[in-house]
Structure 1
Amino acid sequence: MVNSVYGKTIENLSKRDSVKICRTKEELLQEVSKSTYKRQIIVNEEMVIVMHRRTIIYYNKPFYIGFSILDISKYIMYDYFYNVLRKYYKNHNDLQLLYSDTDSLVLKIKTDELISDLKNLSSTFDFSNLPEDHELYDTGKKSKLFCFKEEFGLRPILRIVSLASKVYAFQIACCHNFKHHYPGKCQMSSPNIPDANNLEGNNVFFEDKLTMKGVSQRAKNKFTFEDYFRCLQSQVSRRTVDYRIQSKKQNLSSIVIQKVALSGFDDKRYILDCGLHSVPYGYSLHSNKCFASECK
Protein backbone atom coordinates (compact mmCIF):
# COMPACT_ATOMS: atom_id res chain seq x y z
CA MET A 1 0.00 0.00 0.00
CA VAL A 2 1.45 3.37 -1.01
CA ASN A 3 1.56 6.20 1.52
CA SER A 4 -1.02 8.32 -0.31
CA VAL A 5 -3.61 5.55 -0.02
CA TYR A 6 -2.62 4.70 3.55
CA GLY A 7 -2.95 8.37 4.56
CA LYS A 8 -6.60 8.36 3.55
CA THR A 9 -7.29 5.48 5.95
CA ILE A 10 -6.21 7.57 8.97
CA GLU A 11 -7.59 10.93 7.85
CA ASN A 12 -9.26 12.89 10.66
CA LEU A 13 -12.53 13.95 9.07
CA SER A 14 -13.55 15.99 12.13
CA LYS A 15 -10.91 18.58 11.23
CA ARG A 16 -12.55 19.41 7.93
CA ASP A 17 -14.42 22.71 7.59
CA SER A 18 -17.30 23.87 5.46
CA VAL A 19 -16.51 26.81 3.19
CA LYS A 20 -18.82 29.54 1.91
CA ILE A 21 -17.76 32.24 -0.57
CA CYS A 22 -19.55 35.54 0.02
CA ARG A 23 -19.69 38.28 -2.59
CA THR A 24 -22.22 40.63 -0.99
CA LYS A 25 -22.55 42.24 2.42
CA GLU A 26 -25.87 40.48 3.03
CA GLU A 27 -24.37 37.06 2.37
CA LEU A 28 -21.48 37.78 4.72
CA LEU A 29 -23.71 38.96 7.58
CA GLN A 30 -25.90 35.90 7.16
CA GLU A 31 -22.92 33.53 7.35
CA VAL A 32 -21.13 35.13 10.32
CA SER A 33 -24.33 35.07 12.36
CA LYS A 34 -24.51 31.27 12.24
CA SER A 35 -23.50 29.30 15.36
CA THR A 36 -21.05 27.24 13.31
CA TYR A 37 -19.00 30.28 12.25
CA LYS A 38 -15.24 29.93 12.88
CA ARG A 39 -13.38 32.61 10.95
CA GLN A 40 -13.23 34.55 7.71
CA ILE A 41 -10.61 35.26 5.06
CA ILE A 42 -10.84 38.57 3.21
CA VAL A 43 -9.59 37.95 -0.32
CA ASN A 44 -10.41 41.37 -1.75
CA GLU A 45 -13.14 44.01 -1.58
CA GLU A 46 -15.56 41.80 -3.49
CA MET A 47 -14.88 38.37 -1.99
CA VAL A 48 -14.75 36.94 1.54
CA ILE A 49 -14.31 33.26 2.40
CA VAL A 50 -16.19 32.17 5.54
CA MET A 51 -15.20 29.00 7.40
CA HIS A 52 -17.77 26.95 9.36
CA ARG A 53 -17.65 23.90 11.59
CA ARG A 54 -19.34 21.00 9.88
CA THR A 55 -22.75 20.15 11.31
CA ILE A 56 -22.72 16.62 9.89
CA ILE A 57 -19.59 14.47 9.63
CA TYR A 58 -19.68 11.36 7.49
CA TYR A 59 -17.06 8.89 8.67
CA ASN A 60 -16.80 7.21 5.29
CA LYS A 61 -13.06 6.46 5.41
CA PRO A 62 -11.84 2.99 6.45
CA PHE A 63 -9.98 4.29 9.51
CA TYR A 64 -10.11 0.82 11.05
CA ILE A 65 -7.58 -0.17 8.37
CA GLY A 66 -5.25 2.70 9.28
CA PHE A 67 -5.06 2.13 13.02
CA SER A 68 -4.89 -1.64 12.52
CA ILE A 69 -1.85 -1.21 10.28
CA LEU A 70 -0.17 0.97 12.94
CA ASP A 71 -0.91 -1.41 15.81
CA ILE A 72 -0.04 -4.58 13.91
CA SER A 73 3.18 -2.98 12.67
CA LYS A 74 4.21 -2.13 16.24
CA TYR A 75 3.42 -5.67 17.35
CA ILE A 76 5.47 -7.19 14.52
CA MET A 77 8.47 -4.97 15.24
CA TYR A 78 8.44 -5.55 19.01
CA ASP A 79 7.76 -9.26 18.61
CA TYR A 80 10.67 -9.67 16.20
CA PHE A 81 13.12 -7.75 18.37
CA TYR A 82 12.26 -9.32 21.73
CA ASN A 83 11.05 -12.80 20.78
CA VAL A 84 13.41 -13.52 17.88
CA LEU A 85 16.56 -11.39 17.97
CA ARG A 86 16.82 -10.97 21.75
CA LYS A 87 16.42 -14.72 22.26
CA TYR A 88 19.04 -15.44 19.60
CA TYR A 89 21.59 -12.95 20.96
CA LYS A 90 21.22 -13.73 24.64
CA ASN A 91 24.03 -11.36 25.70
CA HIS A 92 22.47 -7.90 25.80
CA ASN A 93 25.76 -6.26 24.83
CA ASP A 94 25.72 -8.20 21.55
CA LEU A 95 22.46 -6.62 20.40
CA GLN A 96 21.54 -2.95 20.70
CA LEU A 97 18.58 -1.12 19.20
CA LEU A 98 19.87 2.21 17.88
CA TYR A 99 16.80 3.55 16.07
CA SER A 100 13.37 2.31 15.08
CA ASP A 101 10.66 3.47 12.72
CA THR A 102 7.22 2.17 11.79
CA ASP A 103 8.63 -0.62 9.64
CA SER A 104 12.39 -0.66 10.26
CA LEU A 105 15.03 -1.29 12.91
CA VAL A 106 18.60 -0.03 13.09
CA LEU A 107 20.59 -2.58 15.09
CA LYS A 108 24.14 -2.85 16.39
CA ILE A 109 25.11 -6.52 16.45
CA LYS A 110 28.41 -7.88 17.76
CA THR A 111 29.19 -11.27 16.24
CA ASP A 112 32.07 -13.16 14.64
CA GLU A 113 29.74 -15.24 12.46
CA LEU A 114 27.38 -12.78 10.77
CA ILE A 115 26.72 -14.95 7.70
CA SER A 116 26.04 -17.98 9.89
CA ASP A 117 23.67 -15.95 12.07
CA LEU A 118 21.78 -14.68 9.04
CA LYS A 119 21.45 -18.22 7.73
CA ASN A 120 19.92 -19.28 11.04
CA LEU A 121 17.50 -16.34 10.85
CA SER A 122 16.86 -16.68 7.11
CA SER A 123 13.19 -17.58 7.61
CA THR A 124 12.56 -13.96 8.62
CA PHE A 125 14.71 -12.28 5.94
CA ASP A 126 14.31 -11.29 2.31
CA PHE A 127 17.76 -11.52 0.70
CA SER A 128 16.64 -10.60 -2.81
CA ASN A 129 18.56 -7.28 -2.79
CA LEU A 130 21.97 -8.93 -2.32
CA PRO A 131 24.38 -9.45 -5.26
CA GLU A 132 23.49 -12.53 -7.27
CA ASP A 133 26.83 -14.19 -6.46
CA HIS A 134 26.38 -13.73 -2.70
CA GLU A 135 25.95 -17.00 -0.78
CA LEU A 136 22.81 -15.65 0.92
CA TYR A 137 21.17 -14.40 -2.28
CA ASP A 138 17.64 -15.76 -2.57
CA THR A 139 14.54 -14.51 -4.41
CA GLY A 140 12.19 -17.04 -2.82
CA LYS A 141 10.85 -14.51 -0.31
CA LYS A 142 11.11 -11.39 -2.49
CA SER A 143 8.60 -8.76 -1.27
CA LYS A 144 7.03 -11.31 1.07
CA LEU A 145 4.96 -9.78 3.85
CA PHE A 146 6.51 -9.63 7.33
CA CYS A 147 10.01 -10.45 6.05
CA PHE A 148 12.85 -8.04 6.78
CA LYS A 149 15.29 -6.78 4.16
CA GLU A 150 18.81 -5.54 4.90
CA GLU A 151 18.62 -1.99 3.57
CA PHE A 152 22.17 -1.65 2.27
CA GLY A 153 22.76 -5.15 0.99
CA LEU A 154 25.08 -6.14 3.88
CA ARG A 155 27.50 -3.29 3.21
CA PRO A 156 29.17 -2.26 6.50
CA ILE A 157 27.72 0.83 8.18
CA LEU A 158 30.64 2.92 9.39
CA ARG A 159 28.71 5.48 11.40
CA ILE A 160 25.14 6.50 12.15
CA VAL A 161 23.79 9.69 13.70
CA SER A 162 20.12 9.85 14.69
CA LEU A 163 19.15 13.31 15.95
CA ALA A 164 15.36 12.90 16.06
CA SER A 165 12.50 11.07 14.43
CA LYS A 166 12.99 11.11 10.64
CA VAL A 167 16.27 13.02 11.01
CA TYR A 168 19.23 10.65 10.70
CA ALA A 169 22.31 9.94 8.60
CA PHE A 170 24.19 6.78 7.62
CA GLN A 171 27.76 6.50 6.40
CA ILE A 172 28.06 3.25 4.47
CA ALA A 173 31.39 1.63 3.64
CA CYS A 174 32.19 0.76 0.06
CA CYS A 175 35.62 -0.90 -0.19
CA HIS A 176 36.97 -1.74 -3.62
CA ASN A 177 38.55 -4.97 -2.48
CA PHE A 178 35.36 -6.28 -0.90
CA LYS A 179 34.20 -9.37 -2.72
CA HIS A 180 30.84 -7.75 -3.44
CA HIS A 181 31.31 -4.12 -4.47
CA TYR A 182 28.55 -1.62 -5.21
CA PRO A 183 29.98 0.93 -7.66
CA GLY A 184 28.65 4.31 -8.68
CA LYS A 185 27.89 6.26 -5.51
CA CYS A 186 31.01 5.96 -3.37
CA GLN A 187 33.07 9.05 -2.58
CA MET A 188 36.74 8.77 -3.44
CA SER A 189 38.12 9.93 -0.10
CA SER A 190 38.73 8.44 3.32
CA PRO A 191 36.83 9.85 6.32
CA ASN A 192 38.40 10.12 9.75
CA ILE A 193 36.74 7.01 11.14
CA PRO A 194 38.45 4.94 13.86
CA ASP A 195 36.68 1.71 12.82
CA ALA A 196 37.69 2.08 9.17
CA ASN A 197 41.00 0.34 9.87
CA ASN A 198 39.08 -2.82 10.74
CA LEU A 199 37.72 -3.09 7.20
CA GLU A 200 39.40 -5.12 4.51
CA GLY A 201 41.81 -3.29 2.23
CA ASN A 202 43.58 0.01 2.52
CA ASN A 203 41.28 2.25 0.48
CA VAL A 204 38.03 2.96 2.28
CA PHE A 205 35.33 4.61 0.21
CA PHE A 206 31.96 5.61 1.59
CA GLU A 207 28.48 6.77 0.70
CA ASP A 208 26.25 9.06 2.77
CA LYS A 209 22.52 8.44 3.11
CA LEU A 210 20.77 11.42 4.71
CA THR A 211 17.18 11.76 5.88
CA MET A 212 15.81 15.15 6.92
CA LYS A 213 12.08 15.54 7.45
CA GLY A 214 10.42 18.78 6.37
CA VAL A 215 13.31 20.03 4.23
CA SER A 216 13.32 20.14 0.44
CA GLN A 217 15.72 17.99 -1.55
CA ARG A 218 17.50 21.12 -2.79
CA ALA A 219 18.22 22.29 0.75
CA LYS A 220 19.13 18.78 1.93
CA ASN A 221 21.80 18.48 -0.76
CA LYS A 222 23.81 21.17 1.04
CA PHE A 223 24.31 18.94 4.10
CA THR A 224 26.77 16.13 4.72
CA PHE A 225 27.17 13.43 7.33
CA GLU A 226 29.69 15.62 9.15
CA ASP A 227 26.99 18.28 9.67
CA TYR A 228 24.87 15.71 11.52
CA PHE A 229 27.89 14.58 13.52
CA ARG A 230 28.88 18.13 14.55
CA CYS A 231 25.29 18.87 15.56
CA LEU A 232 25.30 15.79 17.82
CA GLN A 233 28.61 16.74 19.45
CA SER A 234 28.07 20.48 19.88
CA GLN A 235 24.27 20.49 20.42
CA VAL A 236 24.14 23.54 18.13
CA SER A 237 21.23 23.82 15.69
CA ARG A 238 21.82 24.20 11.98
CA ARG A 239 19.46 26.31 9.88
CA THR A 240 18.79 26.27 6.17
CA VAL A 241 17.20 28.61 3.66
CA ASP A 242 14.43 27.17 1.53
CA TYR A 243 12.39 28.53 -1.38
CA ARG A 244 8.72 27.75 -1.78
CA ILE A 245 5.60 28.76 -3.67
CA GLN A 246 2.92 29.64 -1.13
CA SER A 247 -0.77 30.41 -1.48
CA LYS A 248 -2.04 33.12 0.86
CA LYS A 249 -5.49 34.62 0.50
CA GLN A 250 -5.81 32.94 -2.89
CA ASN A 251 -2.65 34.62 -4.17
CA LEU A 252 0.43 32.64 -5.19
CA SER A 253 3.83 34.04 -4.27
CA SER A 254 7.43 32.85 -4.07
CA ILE A 255 8.84 33.08 -0.55
CA VAL A 256 12.17 32.51 1.16
CA ILE A 257 11.97 30.81 4.55
CA GLN A 258 14.61 30.00 7.15
CA LYS A 259 14.01 26.94 9.27
CA VAL A 260 15.86 24.64 11.66
CA ALA A 261 17.12 21.66 9.66
CA LEU A 262 19.29 19.95 12.30
CA SER A 263 18.93 20.25 16.05
CA GLY A 264 20.76 18.56 18.91
CA PHE A 265 17.61 18.89 21.04
CA ASP A 266 14.93 16.22 20.85
CA ASP A 267 11.55 17.32 22.21
CA LYS A 268 10.34 13.70 22.44
CA ARG A 269 13.26 12.11 24.28
CA TYR A 270 15.51 12.81 27.28
CA ILE A 271 19.22 12.90 26.45
CA LEU A 272 21.41 11.06 28.98
CA ASP A 273 24.66 12.36 30.45
CA CYS A 274 26.73 10.68 27.74
CA GLY A 275 25.19 13.00 25.16
CA LEU A 276 24.67 10.10 22.74
CA HIS A 277 21.85 7.94 24.08
CA SER A 278 18.33 8.94 25.06
CA VAL A 279 15.16 7.54 26.61
CA PRO A 280 11.50 8.56 26.13
CA TYR A 281 10.05 11.17 28.46
CA GLY A 282 8.25 9.39 31.28
CA TYR A 283 10.76 6.54 31.33
CA SER A 284 11.61 5.51 34.90
CA LEU A 285 15.23 6.53 35.53
CA HIS A 286 17.23 5.91 38.69
CA SER A 287 19.98 8.17 37.34
CA ASN A 288 20.94 10.06 34.19
CA LYS A 289 23.91 7.77 33.64
CA CYS A 290 24.04 5.81 30.40
CA PHE A 291 24.64 2.07 30.82
CA ALA A 292 25.55 1.34 27.20
CA SER A 293 28.82 -0.58 27.05
CA GLU A 294 30.62 2.08 24.99
CA CYS A 295 29.61 4.88 27.40
CA LYS A 296 30.61 3.28 30.71
Structure 2
Amino acid sequence: MNLRLINSASEEKLKKLVAQPSFLCCQIFNEDLVGVHNQHINLTLNKPIYAGQAILDLSKRLMYEFHYKVMKPQYGDKINLLFTDTDSLCYEILTDDVYEDMKPIKDLFDTSNYGSFNKTKHLFSSKYKKVVGKFKDELGGVPLKEFVGLRPKMYSLLYNQTSTEGITCEKEKKVAKGISKTEIKQTLRHEMYKKCLNEETTTTNSMTCIRSKNHELFMDTVVKKGLCSFDDKRYWKNPIESYAYGHYKIDTY
Protein backbone atom coordinates (compact mmCIF):
# COMPACT_ATOMS: atom_id res chain seq x y z
CA MET A 1 0.00 0.00 0.00
CA ASN A 2 1.20 3.53 -0.83
CA LEU A 3 0.55 6.44 1.52
CA ARG A 4 0.94 9.92 0.04
CA LEU A 5 0.77 13.01 2.27
CA ILE A 6 -0.91 15.98 0.58
CA ASN A 7 -1.05 19.52 1.99
CA SER A 8 -3.69 22.14 1.36
CA ALA A 9 -1.66 23.74 -1.43
CA SER A 10 -1.84 20.59 -3.58
CA GLU A 11 -5.56 20.29 -4.19
CA GLU A 12 -5.17 19.27 -7.86
CA LYS A 13 -2.72 16.53 -6.92
CA LEU A 14 -5.21 15.22 -4.36
CA LYS A 15 -7.94 15.06 -6.99
CA LYS A 16 -5.70 13.05 -9.33
CA LEU A 17 -4.77 10.52 -6.64
CA VAL A 18 -8.40 10.04 -5.60
CA ALA A 19 -9.46 9.53 -9.23
CA GLN A 20 -6.94 6.72 -9.81
CA PRO A 21 -8.27 3.13 -10.03
CA SER A 22 -5.84 2.12 -7.29
CA PHE A 23 -7.39 4.54 -4.73
CA LEU A 24 -8.39 2.90 -1.43
CA CYS A 25 -9.19 5.57 1.16
CA CYS A 26 -8.26 8.94 2.66
CA GLN A 27 -7.17 9.82 6.17
CA ILE A 28 -7.59 13.43 7.26
CA PHE A 29 -5.05 14.54 9.86
CA ASN A 30 -6.01 18.21 10.05
CA GLU A 31 -7.35 20.97 7.81
CA ASP A 32 -3.97 21.32 6.09
CA LEU A 33 -2.88 17.68 5.75
CA VAL A 34 -4.50 14.55 4.36
CA GLY A 35 -3.14 11.08 3.69
CA VAL A 36 -4.16 9.19 0.54
CA HIS A 37 -3.92 5.39 0.48
CA ASN A 38 -3.36 3.80 -2.93
CA GLN A 39 -2.87 0.17 -3.76
CA HIS A 40 0.37 -0.97 -5.40
CA ILE A 41 -0.04 -1.46 -9.15
CA ASN A 42 1.79 -4.40 -10.67
CA LEU A 43 2.09 -4.44 -14.46
CA THR A 44 2.74 -7.79 -16.09
CA LEU A 45 4.41 -7.24 -19.46
CA ASN A 46 3.53 -10.61 -20.97
CA LYS A 47 2.41 -9.40 -24.40
CA PRO A 48 4.39 -7.78 -27.23
CA ILE A 49 3.96 -4.08 -27.84
CA TYR A 50 2.05 -4.40 -31.10
CA ALA A 51 2.01 -0.72 -32.02
CA GLY A 52 5.79 -0.34 -31.87
CA GLN A 53 6.34 -3.55 -33.81
CA ALA A 54 3.81 -2.52 -36.46
CA ILE A 55 5.43 0.90 -36.92
CA LEU A 56 8.86 -0.66 -37.45
CA ASP A 57 7.45 -3.22 -39.89
CA LEU A 58 5.67 -0.52 -41.89
CA SER A 59 8.88 1.52 -41.97
CA LYS A 60 10.86 -1.48 -43.24
CA ARG A 61 8.31 -2.11 -45.97
CA LEU A 62 8.37 1.54 -47.07
CA MET A 63 12.18 1.57 -47.16
CA TYR A 64 12.47 -1.70 -49.10
CA GLU A 65 9.81 -0.65 -51.61
CA PHE A 66 11.53 2.69 -52.24
CA HIS A 67 14.94 1.05 -52.71
CA TYR A 68 13.94 -1.96 -54.83
CA LYS A 69 10.92 -0.58 -56.71
CA VAL A 70 12.01 3.02 -57.28
CA MET A 71 15.76 3.62 -57.01
CA LYS A 72 17.16 0.31 -58.30
CA PRO A 73 14.94 0.18 -61.44
CA GLN A 74 15.77 3.82 -62.20
CA TYR A 75 19.56 3.65 -61.78
CA GLY A 76 20.50 -0.04 -61.90
CA ASP A 77 24.25 -0.49 -61.33
CA LYS A 78 24.77 3.29 -61.15
CA ILE A 79 23.58 3.51 -57.57
CA ASN A 80 25.29 2.39 -54.37
CA LEU A 81 23.67 2.29 -50.95
CA LEU A 82 26.08 3.89 -48.46
CA PHE A 83 24.05 3.32 -45.33
CA THR A 84 20.48 2.95 -44.14
CA ASP A 85 18.61 3.25 -40.88
CA THR A 86 15.01 2.81 -39.75
CA ASP A 87 13.89 5.92 -41.63
CA SER A 88 16.81 7.02 -43.80
CA LEU A 89 18.84 6.10 -46.88
CA CYS A 90 22.13 7.53 -48.14
CA TYR A 91 23.08 6.89 -51.77
CA GLU A 92 25.97 7.39 -54.15
CA ILE A 93 24.31 8.02 -57.53
CA LEU A 94 26.21 8.19 -60.84
CA THR A 95 24.09 10.54 -62.96
CA ASP A 96 24.30 13.88 -64.76
CA ASP A 97 21.69 15.66 -62.62
CA VAL A 98 19.96 13.87 -59.76
CA TYR A 99 17.53 16.78 -59.29
CA GLU A 100 16.27 16.39 -62.86
CA ASP A 101 15.87 12.66 -62.19
CA MET A 102 13.62 13.50 -59.23
CA LYS A 103 10.96 15.18 -61.39
CA PRO A 104 9.03 11.99 -62.31
CA ILE A 105 9.04 10.79 -58.69
CA LYS A 106 8.58 14.18 -57.06
CA ASP A 107 5.45 13.03 -55.21
CA LEU A 108 7.55 10.65 -53.11
CA PHE A 109 9.46 13.53 -51.50
CA ASP A 110 8.91 16.38 -49.09
CA THR A 111 10.76 19.17 -50.91
CA SER A 112 9.68 22.03 -48.66
CA ASN A 113 13.35 22.80 -47.86
CA TYR A 114 14.38 23.25 -51.52
CA GLY A 115 13.45 26.90 -52.03
CA SER A 116 16.70 28.86 -52.04
CA PHE A 117 18.95 26.85 -54.38
CA ASN A 118 19.05 27.38 -58.14
CA LYS A 119 19.31 23.70 -58.99
CA THR A 120 16.34 22.72 -56.82
CA LYS A 121 13.93 25.65 -57.24
CA HIS A 122 11.83 23.70 -59.74
CA LEU A 123 11.30 20.95 -57.15
CA PHE A 124 10.17 23.20 -54.31
CA SER A 125 6.72 22.43 -52.95
CA SER A 126 5.08 22.61 -49.53
CA LYS A 127 2.37 20.13 -50.54
CA TYR A 128 3.95 17.23 -48.63
CA LYS A 129 5.56 19.21 -45.82
CA LYS A 130 5.88 16.95 -42.74
CA VAL A 131 3.69 14.29 -44.35
CA VAL A 132 4.32 10.82 -42.92
CA GLY A 133 5.90 8.43 -45.42
CA LYS A 134 7.54 11.08 -47.64
CA PHE A 135 11.33 11.20 -47.99
CA LYS A 136 13.19 14.44 -47.30
CA ASP A 137 16.65 15.58 -48.38
CA GLU A 138 18.45 16.12 -45.09
CA LEU A 139 20.88 18.62 -46.64
CA GLY A 140 18.11 20.59 -48.36
CA GLY A 141 19.40 20.35 -51.92
CA VAL A 142 23.10 20.67 -51.09
CA PRO A 143 25.13 17.91 -52.82
CA LEU A 144 27.14 15.68 -50.51
CA LYS A 145 30.91 15.84 -51.17
CA GLU A 146 32.21 13.00 -49.02
CA PHE A 147 30.84 10.21 -46.86
CA VAL A 148 32.84 8.10 -44.42
CA GLY A 149 31.07 5.21 -42.70
CA LEU A 150 33.02 3.31 -40.07
CA ARG A 151 30.35 1.15 -38.44
CA PRO A 152 26.66 1.41 -37.46
CA LYS A 153 25.85 4.82 -35.93
CA MET A 154 29.37 6.10 -36.67
CA TYR A 155 29.78 8.17 -39.84
CA SER A 156 30.66 11.63 -41.14
CA LEU A 157 29.24 13.75 -43.97
CA LEU A 158 31.12 16.58 -45.69
CA TYR A 159 29.30 19.16 -47.83
CA ASN A 160 29.47 22.79 -48.97
CA GLN A 161 27.01 25.31 -47.61
CA THR A 162 26.40 28.72 -49.16
CA SER A 163 25.20 31.56 -46.96
CA THR A 164 22.71 34.25 -47.97
CA GLU A 165 25.72 36.54 -48.64
CA GLY A 166 27.05 34.06 -51.22
CA ILE A 167 29.91 32.78 -49.05
CA THR A 168 30.58 29.05 -49.43
CA CYS A 169 32.19 27.04 -46.64
CA GLU A 170 32.62 23.38 -45.79
CA LYS A 171 30.31 21.84 -43.21
CA GLU A 172 30.48 18.53 -41.41
CA LYS A 173 27.82 16.33 -39.90
CA LYS A 174 29.33 13.77 -37.55
CA VAL A 175 27.68 10.87 -35.75
CA ALA A 176 29.42 8.67 -33.18
CA LYS A 177 27.26 6.56 -30.90
CA GLY A 178 28.51 6.41 -27.32
CA ILE A 179 30.36 9.72 -27.53
CA SER A 180 28.81 12.87 -26.09
CA LYS A 181 27.59 15.58 -28.46
CA THR A 182 29.98 18.09 -26.92
CA GLU A 183 32.98 15.82 -27.51
CA ILE A 184 31.88 15.16 -31.11
CA LYS A 185 31.51 18.88 -31.81
CA GLN A 186 34.74 20.01 -30.15
CA THR A 187 37.12 17.14 -30.90
CA LEU A 188 36.10 14.94 -33.83
CA ARG A 189 36.74 16.03 -37.43
CA HIS A 190 35.87 14.55 -40.81
CA GLU A 191 39.55 13.89 -41.52
CA MET A 192 39.75 11.78 -38.35
CA TYR A 193 37.02 9.52 -39.72
CA LYS A 194 38.97 9.16 -42.99
CA LYS A 195 42.19 8.36 -41.15
CA CYS A 196 40.41 5.79 -39.02
CA LEU A 197 39.07 4.10 -42.17
CA ASN A 198 42.22 4.23 -44.30
CA GLU A 199 44.82 3.52 -41.61
CA GLU A 200 42.65 1.40 -39.28
CA THR A 201 43.40 3.65 -36.32
CA THR A 202 41.24 4.30 -33.27
CA THR A 203 40.71 7.36 -31.09
CA THR A 204 40.37 7.73 -27.34
CA ASN A 205 37.90 10.33 -26.11
CA SER A 206 37.28 11.71 -22.64
CA MET A 207 33.91 13.02 -21.57
CA THR A 208 32.77 14.82 -18.44
CA CYS A 209 29.29 13.84 -17.35
CA ILE A 210 26.94 14.08 -14.38
CA ARG A 211 26.36 10.79 -12.56
CA SER A 212 24.30 9.68 -9.59
CA LYS A 213 25.29 7.28 -6.80
CA ASN A 214 23.22 6.75 -3.67
CA HIS A 215 21.04 9.69 -4.75
CA GLU A 216 24.05 12.03 -4.83
CA LEU A 217 25.03 13.82 -8.04
CA PHE A 218 28.69 14.22 -8.93
CA MET A 219 30.88 15.07 -11.93
CA ASP A 220 32.84 12.24 -13.48
CA THR A 221 35.34 12.03 -16.35
CA VAL A 222 35.00 8.95 -18.55
CA VAL A 223 37.71 7.83 -20.97
CA LYS A 224 36.56 5.40 -23.66
CA LYS A 225 37.34 4.23 -27.18
CA GLY A 226 35.92 6.63 -29.76
CA LEU A 227 36.25 6.16 -33.52
CA CYS A 228 36.85 2.59 -34.64
CA SER A 229 36.36 0.92 -38.02
CA PHE A 230 35.91 -2.62 -36.68
CA ASP A 231 32.43 -3.91 -37.56
CA ASP A 232 31.40 -7.55 -37.10
CA LYS A 233 27.73 -7.03 -37.98
CA ARG A 234 28.37 -7.40 -41.72
CA TYR A 235 30.60 -9.38 -44.09
CA TRP A 236 33.30 -7.08 -45.48
CA LYS A 237 34.47 -7.76 -49.02
CA ASN A 238 37.08 -5.00 -48.67
CA PRO A 239 37.50 -1.95 -46.40
CA ILE A 240 34.67 -0.05 -48.13
CA GLU A 241 32.26 -2.71 -49.45
CA SER A 242 30.16 -5.03 -47.33
CA TYR A 243 27.25 -7.47 -47.52
CA ALA A 244 24.66 -8.50 -44.97
CA TYR A 245 25.27 -11.97 -43.58
CA GLY A 246 23.38 -14.47 -45.71
CA HIS A 247 23.88 -12.53 -48.96
CA TYR A 248 24.20 -14.83 -51.96
CA LYS A 249 27.42 -13.17 -53.16
CA ILE A 250 29.36 -14.06 -50.01
CA ASP A 251 29.95 -17.64 -51.23
CA THR A 252 31.88 -16.32 -54.23
CA TYR A 253 34.64 -14.73 -52.10
TM category, shorter: 0.7 to 0.9
User: 1:269 maps to which residue?
Assistant: 234
User: 1:3 maps to which residue?
Assistant: none
- 63, 84, 109: which one aligns with 1:77: 63
User: 1:64 maps to which residue?
Assistant: 50
The secondary structure found in structure 2 opposite 1:173 is strand
The secondary structure found in structure 2 opposite 1:135 is helix
Matched to 2:113, the amino acid is N
- 221, 226, 230: which one aligns with 2:195: 230
Matched, 1:149 2:136: yes
User: 2:37 maps to which residue?
Assistant: none
Structure with larger Rg: 2
1:122-161, aligned counterparts within 5 Å? 122-132=106-116, 134-161=121-148
Tell me the distance in 2 between the aligned counterparts of 1:116 and 1:131.
15
Tell me the distance in 2 between the aligned counterparts of 1:135 and 1:283.
40
User: 1:86 maps to which residue?
Assistant: 72
Post-superposition offset of 1:120: 0.9
**TM-score (ref. length: structure 1):** 0.64
Tell me the distance in 1 between the aligned counterparts of 2:150 and 2:116.
35
The secondary structure found in structure 1 opposite 2:197 is helix
User: 1:112 maps to which residue?
Assistant: 96
Change (3 A) 1:183 1:169: farther
Post-superposition offset of 1:183: 4.9
Tell me the distance in 1 between the aligned counterparts of 2:130 and 2:46.
31
Tell me the distance in 2 between the aligned counterparts of 1:154 and 1:253.
44
Tell me the distance in 2 between the aligned counterparts of 1:138 and 1:67.
32
User: 2:32 maps to which residue?
Assistant: none
Higher RCO, Cα 8 Å, sep 6+: 1
Matched to 1:130, the amino acid is Y
User: 2:205 maps to which residue?
Assistant: 240
Tell me the distance in 2 between the aligned counterparts of 1:102 and 1:182.
31
User: 1:208 maps to which residue?
Assistant: 172
Matched to 1:231, the amino acid is C
Tell me the distance in 1 between the aligned counterparts of 2:99 and 2:191.
31
Query: Alignment length, in residue pairs?
Result: 207
Matched to 1:76, the amino acid is L
Matched to 1:171, the amino acid is L
Post-superposition offset of 1:252: 2.8
Change (3 A) 1:252 1:113: closer
Tell me the distance in 2 between the aligned counterparts of 1:162 and 1:128.
28
Post-superposition offset of 1:73: 0.5
Post-superposition offset of 1:216: 1.1
Change (3 A) 1:283 1:62: closer
Mind listing any 5+ residue stretches in structure 1 that lack a counterpart?
1-55, 175-180, 187-203, 289-296
Post-superposition offset of 1:249: 3.6
Change (3 A) 1:217 1:183: farther
Mind listing any 5+ residue stretches in structure 2 that lack a counterpart?
1-41
- 199, 217, 225: which one aligns with 2:181: 217
- 221, 229, 244: which one aligns with 1:280: 244
- Decide which moves more: 261-270 or 94-103: 261-270
Q: Percent identity?
A: 32
Matched to 1:212, the amino acid is A
Matched to 1:121, the amino acid is I
Tell me the distance in 2 between the aligned counterparts of 1:278 and 1:131.
36
Q: What do the CA deviations read for 1:222-247 (whole angstroms, capped 9, x no partner)?
A: 11100111001111111100111222
User: 1:34 maps to which residue?
Assistant: none
Post-superposition offset of 1:282: 4.1
Q: What do the CA deviations read for 1:158-195 (whole angstroms, capped 9, x no partner)?
A: 10011111111100123xxxxxx4459x8xxxxxxxxx
Tell me the distance in 1 between the aligned counterparts of 2:203 and 2:106.
41
User: 1:9 maps to which residue?
Assistant: none
Provide the aligned C-alpha RMSD in A.
Answer: 2.4
Tell me the distance in 2 between the aligned counterparts of 1:287 and 1:259.
38
Tell me the distance in 1 between the aligned counterparts of 2:204 and 2:235.
22
